[in-house]
Amino acid sequence: MKLKELPREQLLQTLAYYLGFICLGLVMVSNGPHLPNLIEHTRSSMDQFAVIFVVASFGFLAGSYLGGWLFDRLPGHRIISACFVVLLITLAVTPLIGTVWLMAVVFFFTALAMSLIDLGSNTLITWVHGDQGGPYMNALHFFFGVGAAISPLMIGRFILATGDIYWSYWTLAALMIPAILMLTLVKSPQIRAETKESNVSVSRAANRTGLIWLLVAFFMFYVAVESNFGTYIVSYIQRLTNGNTTATAYEINSIYWSMLTLGRLLAIPIAARLKPRAIITINLAGAVIAISTILLFRQSLSAVWVGSIILGLAQASTFPTLLIFAEQQLKLTGRITSYFYLGISISGMVIPWLIAQFFEGNIFSVMIILGAMIGVQVISWLVINLNIQQKDRITAYELTQ
């Protein structure tokens, strides 16, 4: 990937998405490090606070639904910059709130804005670079990882230094300003019209629809594993060690996101050499090994260290690679991408709530549920590959007619 060789407009657009994803990474993983203090601020328990995650997931769901319509009709950069303004406001007021339901309202709008930024940036960078955009897409998610790796360490330092979450949230709010300015100044890419094929057979149309929903299922459970591991790992380690390793919990949280970042950096040249199907298969094998290590040696903090490192590396390039795979098979529009994000938002509503219900009674339930979701990903990927083989057979048959 030679970024400097891009035309000036494409270069500025790409850099704008990279900056935006650093900011998105900072915000999106901030719930985990802030979680114990947010529960204290709202005078609630873990299972009571889980209501906020459900409400936030409705915000993500709303953003996923609206995003497909908005990005297929309006200049994308205007939408994304407006969403960063919303984040600036919600981050600034979050530490001032002392009730669960008011916090839920703020989390709803935070999730709505993050959903539109996430969906929009992934869609727009695909429009800018097309199905050869694997390295650029992996770089985009690498920069998300940069923000995600910095966030727990920054938040942990603020909390340990001040004893509260005010300055960590206010610093995050201020860091949204550069993204707002750049996205406001850089021209949006041309909106991609959805292609209409008039002579598509019933078999091929059904195969395409099936592939879309299989990809939706994969995205649902992949993101559920990535986000919930990052969200619950601090609380999991604190419970595992009876609160004796708070600093270590923040470090493991940071190393997990750091491995996601490193993995995405390594994936930039790898994406130029390996096919998406090979990369995703390797990543799934790594995820199975990681969660198995934590479950088999469940009383060992060392196993959590090792599992977090492997899982971070294994998860790193799956999302961007799967998007490029979908672009190659389907030609993405805002509407198709929104289906993926609708699935992600539904899992975001159900899985955090499910984990919270079991967490108080059995901390190991977190890893059991995550392991089950990795198993569903493996099954989904096997069926997706069977679907692709069927599509190839349909195409070959139609060519002979």
Angle between helices 365-400 and 276-296 (to 10 degrees): 160
pLDDT over 70, % of the chain: 91
pLDDT in tens, 181-191: 999 999 999 88
What is the per-residue pLDDT for 272?
83
Assign 198 a pLDDT band (cuts: 50, 70, 90): very low
Q: Is the pLDDT of residue 43 over 70?
A: yes
pLDDT over 90, % of the chain: 40
Q: Is the pLDDT of residue 199 over 70?
A: no
Q: Is the pLDDT of residue 309 over 60?
A: yes
Of 3-7, 29-33, 125-129, the least confident? 3-7
What is the per-residue pLDDT for 357?
84
Q: Is the pLDDT of residue 197 over 60?
A: no
Assign 200 a pLDDT band (cuts: 50, 70, 90): low
C-alpha R_g of the chain? 21
Is residue 267 within 8 A of residue 321, CB to CB? The reply is: yes
Q: Is the pLDDT of residue 1 over 90?
A: no
Name the average pLDDT for the chain.
86
- Report the top-level CATH class of 7-187+200-400: mainly alpha
Average pLDDT over residues 55-59: 86
Assign 355 a pLDDT band (cuts: 50, 70, 90): confident
Which residues, 6+ apart, have CB-to-CB distance to 323 below 8 Å?
A: 122, 126, 137, 332, 337, 340
**Of 66-70, 109-113, 316-320, 397-401, which one has max mean pLDDT?**
109-113
**Of 125-129, 171-175, 239-243, which one has max mean pLDDT?**
171-175
Q: Between residues 74 and 249, which one has the greater pLDDT?
A: 74
Q: Between residues 147 and 348, which one has the greater pLDDT?
A: 147
Amino acid at 41: H
Q: Between residues 323 and 207, which one has the greater pLDDT?
A: 323
What is the per-residue pLDDT for 169?
94
Q: Between residues 178 and 36, which one has the greater pLDDT?
A: 178
Cα(212)–Cα(227) distance, rounded to whole angstroms? 22
Which ranges in 175-201 belong to alpha helices (H)? Answer: 177-185
Q: Is the pLDDT of residue 145 over 90?
A: no
Angle between helices 202-240 and 246-271 (to 10 degrees): 150
What is the per-residue pLDDT for 130?
78
Give domain limits for the chain: 7-187+200-400
Q: Is the pLDDT of residue 260 over 70?
A: yes
DSSP secondary structure, 78-140, as one string = HHHHHHHHHHHHHHHHGGG--SHHHHHHHHHHHHHHHHHHHHHHHHHHHHHHGGG-HHHHHHH
- Is the backbone of residue 243 left (phi > 0), alpha (psi -120 to 50) or beta? left
8-state DSSP, 197: -
What is the per-residue pLDDT for 194?
63
Cα(312)–Cα(389) distance, rounded to whole angstroms? 30
Q: Is the pLDDT of residue 10 over 60?
A: yes
Quote the tokens at residue 230.
């990052």
Of 13-17, 90-94, 349-353, the least confident? 349-353
Q: Is the pLDDT of residue 83 over 90?
A: yes
